[in-house]
Amino acid sequence: MEKNSIETKYNKWILILSILIPVAVAVLFKVKLKDLGFDASPLPILPPIYATINGITAVLLISAVLAIKNGKRQLHENLMKCAIACSLVFLVLYIAYHMTTDSTIYGGTGVLKYVYYFVLLTHILLSVATIPLVLITYVRALAARFDKHKKIAKITFPIWLYVAVTGVVVYLMISPYYVN
């Protein structure tokens, strides 16, 4: 298959997923399994797990950049696939948590409250932007369009890294307010 046709083939999927995932998360965030008649117990164990996954994602991203800078392309590719897999696992666990558990309100005050909401808001907005960026970056690598891949990766990497790190920060800041 020609390189450009690989990109063209996946462009519609990138668009669909870039819209569908945030919309599905927003909708499922409001849907509680118990309201649908399912006997679903809250899953308070999940936030530290998916915060850890965010931390692992950050380490994988940094390791992948170091690998490619050192000419280890196969290692870079494997680390990036692991980072994508971690992001998918995070997404499933995040949805499962919010479909079984009521949202937690941040209880901090003063400057920390504003810091928390700033970090949370930028984390959410950039996580939505990360979806098409990651997909486009990955498809360009699949299509062996490494010149274009490298260009967009320079944008994708810091945004994805910020989302992964702030996921941990948000968890650490709100964890004292979780109700068990």
What CATH number is given to the structural domain containing 57?
A: 1.20.120.80
165 within 8 A of 58, measured Cβ to Cβ:
yes
Average pLDDT over residues 76-80: 98
**Structural element, H or E, at residue 76:** helix 73-100
- Tell me if 100 sits within 8 A of 32, measured CB to CB: yes
Q: Is the pTM of this model over 0.85?
A: yes
Specify the pLDDT at position 123.
Answer: 97
* Domain count along the chain: 1
Domain coverage including residue 148: 3-177
pLDDT tens digit string along 98-116? Answer: 888 888 899 999 999 999 9
Cβ atoms within 10 Å of 117's Cβ, excluding its own: 13
pLDDT band at 34 (very low <50, low <70, confident <90, very high): confident
User: Which pLDDT score is estimated for 140?
Assistant: 95
Average pLDDT, the chain: 92
Give the relative orientation of helices 146-174 and 110-142 as an angle to the nearest 10 degrees.
150
